[in-house]
Amino acid sequence: MNEPKKEKQTLHIVSRSPYQYRDIEQCLDRACDNDAILLTGDAVFALLPTSTIYHHLKNTSIFMCALEPEVAARGLLEQNVPESTINLISDDDFVQLVCEYSRSFTWF
């Protein structure tokens, strides 16, 4: 018997730096398996291996993504972004995610 496809619940949008705020940690504590987390703005610094939250992001089962233009603007494309875990998406993909999830929540 096939399991029913889980409805996509909440798109969590995090934009503040992990070096100044605990938004990403709090988001990971509250997000469910059928949620997604989108990193924008200075939150993309969480993709740096030196970030305290990096290993949590790399090992979560939650769909993780970051806006590629934000990553590029901060010079992080040259860093070792864990692309197998963190999906780099375009602005158009961001709009699509907002449409796919039943609600969005911005952490700030």
Query: pLDDT tens digits, residue range 69-107?
Result: 999 999 888 776 666 678 999 999 999 999 999 999 999
Handedness of CA 64, 17, 97, 94 (dihedral sign): negative
Q: Residue 44 gets which letter from DSSP?
A: G
pLDDT tens digits for range 29-46? 999 989 999 999 999 999
Cα(7)–Cα(17) distance, integer angstroms: 30
- Which numeric CATH code is attached to 10-107? 3.40.1260.10
Q: Does residue 13 have a pLDDT over 60?
A: yes
Distance, CA of 27 to CA of 21 (rounded, Å): 11
